[in-house]
Homo-oligomer: A and B are copies of this chain.
């Protein structure tokens, strides 16, 4: 059973302020919660009797609850069968270390939690283990972002950092990629197996200061070349095409 206070505490985690204070976040639904239980410390696992595996998972506290209780606690419009509260992890690594050995993503002020979650799912598909976000990027522990990762958050580490500072201090020799309308056509250029791929804000793209640090400007061409078309692609879509291009070369 969940007390009034439990429900109040769960609801408070919709707000970044309380997530940061308590270092906790919420996830819902058996697929997502199942994935996250394999990776994060769970402080509360609350499920309706429909969710059989409740007993088999480890959590600091487990509660069997009624669908009505779940409805009151849920942050979703259509509550599912299970709700869990997890501890926000601390990862200790830095961009230069990861970018020296593998491909990483850097997000410059991505605003939409849905886009952010979708980007984590794309990274997971393409074997990118680390995403470094500017402090102005949406919070990955926002419930909408967590849900949009569809569980990929269990396999991709998301970090927040001073992106301009980190990019500025990147050792020379590490490629720093970004997509621009005047870049090299991504389809026909060489791409490395390590480095940083920067994706920019939905409305404004990569900020001027960070763009100045990009040493490999790429371009996803529209088709047919020169036709009147949309001004740009959605940022998650551009991330997907870019990651696919980096990885397809090893097939």
Assuming A127-B224, A240-B241, A244-B244, is B233 touching A185 (CB within 8 A)? no
Residues of chain B with a CB closer than 8 A to A236's CB: 234, 236-237
A237-B228 Cα distance, complex, nearest whole Å: 22
Task: List 6 A-B pairs, minimum CB-CB distance, nearest first.
Answer: A223-B247, A237-B240, A187-B248, A127-B223, A187-B251, A241-B244
Residues of chain B with a CB closer than 8 A to A126's CB: 222-223
Q: Is B230 a contact partner of A151 (Cβ separation < 8 A)? A: yes
Q: Which residue of B lies closest to A222 (CB)?
A: B125
Sample (24) of A-B pairs whose CB atoms are under 8 Å apart: A121-B230, A121-B237, A122-B233, A122-B234, A125-B223, A125-B230, A125-B233, A127-B224, A127-B227, A150-B231, A151-B230, A152-B230, A155-B230, A185-B251, A187-B251, A220-B244, A221-B251, A223-B247, A223-B250, A234-B236, A236-B236, A237-B237, A237-B240, A240-B240
Q: Is A188 a contact partner of B231 (Cβ separation < 8 A)? A: no
